[in-house]
A and B are shown apart, each in its own frame.
Chain A
Amino acid sequence: MLAGAAAALPGIYLLVLVAGDAGGAISTVATARTLGLAAQTLALTLAVSATAVAIGLPLAWLTTRTDLPGRRLWTTLTTLPLVIPSYIGAYLLISAVGPFGLLRDVLDAEQLPSIYGFAGAWLALSLFTYPLVLLSTRAALLRLDPQLEDAARSMGRTPRQTFTSVVMPQLVPALATGALLVALYVVSDFGAVSIMRFDSLTSDIYITYQSSFDRSSAASLGLLLAVITLALLAGQSWVRGSLRFDRAGPGSIRPAAPIPLGRWRGPALAFCASVTTVALILPLGVLIYWASLGLGGEGLAVTELATNGSNSLLAAAAAAAAAAVLAVVIAILAVRFRGRMTVTLERISFLGYALPGVVVALSLVFFGIRIAPPLYQTLAMLVFALTIHYLPLAVGSVGSSLLQVPPRIEEAARGLGRGPLEVFRTITTPLVAGGIFAGMALVFLHALKELPATLLLAPIGFETLATDIWRQTSRGFFEAAAIPTILLLVVAAPPLYVLAGRGTPPSS
């Protein structure tokens, strides 16, 4: 309950702001312009989600179920783009393939076609969000019982038929969750859409805040975002609720034997390599080029970078851990004790991710200073904010893993005399470990780059890599942000590699 109340804070905040002026809220929202923006935002959301599935699903399958060489490495490399802040990513894209970007110099062309607008926003967001699908689908694939596939194969189905008729349907909840997370990311993103000059609801919220400090009309737009989110959630839960995914039979899952790729090994490697190239190597290349430009003058402030890096790690790791704990609680309530209350709780927990970061941060300023003044602007407050903001990432992953765990295993353990906590510790937790790790990885990567809440809620003097990037870009020189951005990738890689190792089938 406490978890739910905490997760509901941003939503309550919006209601408090709007409550004073409901008529004004309706007139803000019900204009042709706002509705047009909502439609545009939705179109972008659908396009990006579809693309993310198209990239994330094959990667997830290749890195979990096949004999692809270097699966753990590919997982790490293809997940890393998630840590690039979207405005930096978009700016990188513009300087690489924009009308006057580096690619033009390479091709020696007069001018490349413009990528501003829908195309640019779609490209930037797809490239930096598909890991959301990748991670949640991986977790589901690792939980999938290979006996089903063996059965299908033994009855004469080809590997491809097996995939479409047996594996795919089992992946639906995870894909729906991944796509949902992508959709929420897109809905709440400000960085990429503003750099790509695409008008969305969130950019409107920012402009409204920035120009008129009209908090109630910004809040009305925020509530509209919340409504869109709830609609997306209803869609996801409809997909999930209509099917059963757990195994009927007893017994534990043995690791699936890797499917030999045979002559497809080449193309599969090429696919992984090209995704890695476009989403990671190219941006990194531009970053390194920028860094080399900026190194001439003052030297590297190594100690400062190290402090910022460890601050980032500290806050992100704490938020990932806290989110994992809360997510397990919420997911168990929502999946095992499905009822109106618990489903509402689960949905509310998603709001934190769908709202723009500045709204979440301001809602915690509002409540923090009233409810817990001694904690206001302390590290605990920051971790709390990051946890609330990214909780849905963990709830989604844990929830879809839990769906694949048959309740009768837990029931059997209870029947044999174990207490509920004991069952939870010894049965449920290990079985959903894959989902927990995926969720932690997602929260970690997001928290690492979070900016608005960190600026407003961190203790004074608590600098992170993200605030360092902001410092540099606020001077107007994106190039100067190269070094902290590279460091963000460097800091994220090892924990990600460890998390990717959990559940990756052994190489031989």
Chain B
Amino acid sequence: MKPAHSARLLLPLALLGSLVAGCGGDDGSDPVAQADSGESVLTLYSGREPELIDPAIEDYEKQSGVEVEIRSGDSAPLAATLLEEGDASPADVFLAQDAGSLGAVEAEGLLAPLPPEILEEVPARFRSDGGGWVGITGRARVIAYGPDVDEADVPDSPLDLVDPEWEGRVGWAPSNASLQAYVTALRTIEGEDVAREWLEGMVANGAQAYESNTPVRDAIAAGEVDLGLINHYYVAQAIAEEGADYPVAVKFPPDDLGSLINVAGAGVIASSDDPGGAQDLIEFLLAEDAQTYFADSSKEYPLAAGVEPDEALVPLDQIPAPDVDLGDTTDLEGTLELMRETGAL
């Protein structure tokens, strides 16, 4: 290569580089820009699937005239981002996939308490005791099964999956938050020993560990395993996508913990410069239109406004619900330790 060439090439690069390197040198005298603009703009950190949440937010924008900027990501890294940002966060609302992420942000005092009229939209078990967040939709832990298993043969409780009959035939996702929440609930309600025995039994019985719920479902569809512990809507969505002959079905197990309900929820960031607007957005998500939309599109359980779930689902109040405070499922340290000790993780 000729020298002239490289000089021509490197000059703009050097300019670019110095521009980028300049980032570090700023003294930060100019506070976060959009704060004082007259128009209302809300910033939403959303840990939910964009395809699911975006249409609901667009409806809100149309209805309210407020512009909502959405930063989508996975719930846990977004929660960690909020923790790092602290009081300087540009976010107004945090919408998360699980109570754990919301609980972690609330525990650092970064969520402003919601007024009672918003909290009381949903049953007490689907909101934070501290009032920092409220559940928007719910999902049930179910046993999914493939075409080679008769519905009648599917066990009535995940605890029965340690039976030799199911050796090597069960898929689960131990690193997934939903399963860990189940184990936490199991520890809280049935006791440490039951939880330990179950985890040890699952490992000894050759339960196949997958990365998350979707691979478990796909493994059942492909015939890799016959049963799987997942959330109800993964199958409902696949049926909606692929048609009624989709090879996986679900059973809502009635015994022991029943079909534990986890929630996706939302809270207002304490440092928000527009807490009223942020609350308004959450109210919108709890109102009838949005709740109906969630029930139809994601097949999750609506939690507010008296909206009925998808008719193929067992109604929420008929799911045998364990008496567990979802707030307790944010304490996962012990669960992780137990899962590691038993070899489940």
CB 8 Å contact bits of B61-103 with A (1 = contact, 0 = none): 0000000011111101111110111101110000000001100
> Knowing A210-B177, A430-B6 touch, does A471 contact B13 (C-beta < 8 A)?
no
A122 to chain B, nearest CB (A): 17
| Of B1, B17, B234, the contact of A503 (CB 8 Å cutoff) | B1
Chain A's closest residue to B16 (CB) is A321
A357-399 with Cβ < 8 A to chain B: 358, 361-362, 365-366, 369-377, 380-381, 383-384, 387
Across the interface, do B20 and A387 meet the contact criterion of CB distance under 8 Å?
Answer: yes
Q: Which of B20, B101, B210, B213 contacts A318 (CB 8 A)?
A: B20
Alpha-carbon gap, A380 to B24, bound state (A): 11
Note all chain B residues with C-beta closer than 8 A to A366. Answer: 84
CB pair A322 B20 closer than 8 Å = yes
Task: Say whether, besides A325-B17, A362-B84, A433-B1, A371 and B77 are in contact (CB < 8 Å).
Answer: no
Chain B residues within an 8 Å CB radius of A455 = 71-74, 77
A197 and B17 within 8 A (CB):
no
**Is A40 located at the chain interface by the 8 A CB criterion?**
no
Docked CA distance A397–B80 (Å): 34
Establish whether residues B6 and A100, one from each chain, have CB atoms under 8 Å apart when the complex forms. no
Bits for B8-33, please: 1 = Cβ < 8 Å to A, else 0. 00101110111111011110101111
Which of A211, A374, A456, A475 is B336 in contact with, Cβ under 8 Å?
A211
What is the bound-complex CA distance between A435 and B84, given in angstroms? 37
Q: Which residues of B from 153 to 184 have beta carbons under 8 Å from A?
A: 175, 177, 180
- Verify if B305 is at the interface (C-beta below 8 Å from A): no
CB atoms of B73 and A326 under 8 A apart: no
Assess the B17–A100 pair: CB atoms within 8 A: no
A308 within 8 A of B: no
Q: Which of chain A's residues has its CB closest to B71's CB?
A: A460
Closest B residue, CB atoms, query A455: B73
Q: Are B3 and A361 in contact (CB under 8 A)?
A: no
- Contact residues of A: prevailing secondary structure: helix
Task: Say yes or no: A452-B77 contact (C-beta < 8 A), given A207-B345, A210-B175, A376-B32.
Answer: yes
List A residues 302-332 near B (Cβ within 8 Å).
318, 321-322, 324-326
Whether the pair A477, B81 counts as a contact (CB closer than 8 A) is no
B321 touches A (CB below 8 Å): no
Whether, in the assembled complex, B188 has its beta carbon less than 8 Å from a beta carbon of chain A, the answer is no
Q: Is the CB of A476 within 8 A of B234?
A: yes
Q: How far is the CB of A483 from chain B (nearest CB, A)?
A: 14
The segment out of A149-157, A212-220, A267-275, A488-496 that lies at the interface is: A212-220
Q: Which residue of A lies closest to B238 (CB)?
A: A476
Tell me, yes or no, whether B205 is within 8 Å of chain A by CB. no
Tell me which of B43-51, B196-204, B261-269, B281-289 binds A. B43-51
Across-interface contacts of B238 in A (CB, < 8 A): 476
Closest B residue to A454 by beta carbon equals B73
How many chain B residues touch A (CB < 8 A): the figure is 76
Contact: A477 with B16, CB < 8 Å? no
A194 in contact with B211 given A369-B85, A471-B72 (CB within 8 Å): yes
Q: Could you tell me the distance in whole angstroms from the C-beta of B130 to the nearest C-beta in chain A?
A: 16
CB pair B81–A362 under 8 Å, yes or no, is yes
B191 CB contacts on chain A under 8 angstroms: none
Judge whether A408 is part of the interface by a CB distance below 8 angstroms. Answer: no
Nearest to B221 among chain A residues (CB) is A100
In the complex, which residues of chain B have a beta carbon less than 8 angstroms from the beta carbon of A471? 49-51, 72
Which residues of chain B are within 8 angstroms of A373 by Cβ–Cβ distance? 28, 30-32, 88
Is A258's CB within 8 Å of the partner chain B? no
Query: Quick check: B77 and A215 within 8 Å, CB to CB?
Result: no
A5 in contact (CB, < 8 A): yes
Q: Check A194/B21 contact, CB under 8 A, given A365-B84, A503-B1.
A: no
Among candidates B23, B77, B215, residue contacting A358 with C-beta atoms closer than 8 Å = B77
A-B contact count (CB 8 A): 184
Let me know if B314 is at the binding interface, CB within 8 A: no
Contact of B17 among A212, A326, A377, A476 (CB under 8 A): A326
Among candidates B80, B211, B345, residue contacting A209 with C-beta atoms closer than 8 Å: B80
Interface size counted on chain A using CB atoms at 8 A: 69
| A336 CB–B CB distance under 8 Å | no
Secondary structure type dominating chain B contacts? helix
Residue-wise interface mask of B (219-242) relative to A, using a CB-CB cutoff of 8 A (1 in contact, 0 not):
100111000000000100110010
From A381, which residue of chain B is reached at the shortest CB distance?
B23
Q: Is the CB of A456 within 8 A of B32?
A: no
**CB–CB A211/B177 < 8 A:** yes
Determine if A321 and B13 form an interchain contact, defined as CB atoms under 8 angstroms apart: yes
Contact of B251 with A by CB under 8 A: no
> At the interface, yes or no: A505 with Cβ under 8 Å from chain B?
no
Residues of chain B in range 297-345 having any CB-CB distance to chain A below 8 Å = 332-333, 335-336, 340, 345
Among A211, A430, A433, chain B packs the most CB atoms within 10 A around the CB of A211
A426 touches B224 (CB 8 A): no
Question: Which residue, of B13, B25, B85, B332, has the highest number of chain A Cβ atoms within 10 A?
Answer: B13
Of the candidates B20, B70, B89, the one whose C-beta lies within 8 Å of that of A383 is: B20
CB A473 to nearest CB in B, in angstroms, measures 8
Chain A residues near B3 (CB, 8 Å)? 425-427, 429-430
B49 touching A475 by the CB < 8 A rule?
yes
Write out the residue numbers on chain B whose beta carbons fall within 8 Å of the beta carbon of A210: 76, 175, 177
* A195 on the B face (CB < 8 A): yes
| A59 CB, min distance to chain B CBs, angstroms | 22
Nearest-CB distance from B92 to chain A (Å)? 12
Cβ–Cβ contact A380 & B234, under 8 A: no
With A322-B16, A322-B17, A460-B71 in contact, is A213–B210 under 8 Å at CB? no
Residues of B within 8 A of A30 (CB): none
Inter-chain contacts of B244 with A (CB < 8 A): none
A33 at the interface (CB under 8 A from B): yes
Chain A minimum-CB-distance residue to B26: A372
CA distance A211 to B89 in the complex (A): 22
Chain B residues with Cβ below 8 Å from A58 are: none
Contact of B175 among A207, A383, A467 (CB under 8 A): A207
Q: Is B209 an interface residue (CB 8 A)?
A: yes
Since A384-B23, A455-B73 are in contact, a sample of 12 more A-B pairs with Cβ atoms closer than 8 Å, ordered by chain A residue number, is A98-B224, A194-B211, A211-B180, A212-B336, A369-B85, A369-B88, A374-B26, A374-B33, A380-B19, A460-B69, A471-B51, A477-B214
Q: List 27 A-B contacts (CB under 8 A).
A: A6-B21, A100-B224, A197-B209, A207-B175, A211-B180, A213-B80, A214-B333, A318-B16, A322-B17, A324-B13, A325-B10, A325-B13, A326-B21, A372-B26, A375-B23, A377-B90, A380-B19, A384-B23, A427-B3, A456-B73, A456-B78, A474-B49, A475-B49, A475-B52, A475-B237, A476-B217, A477-B241
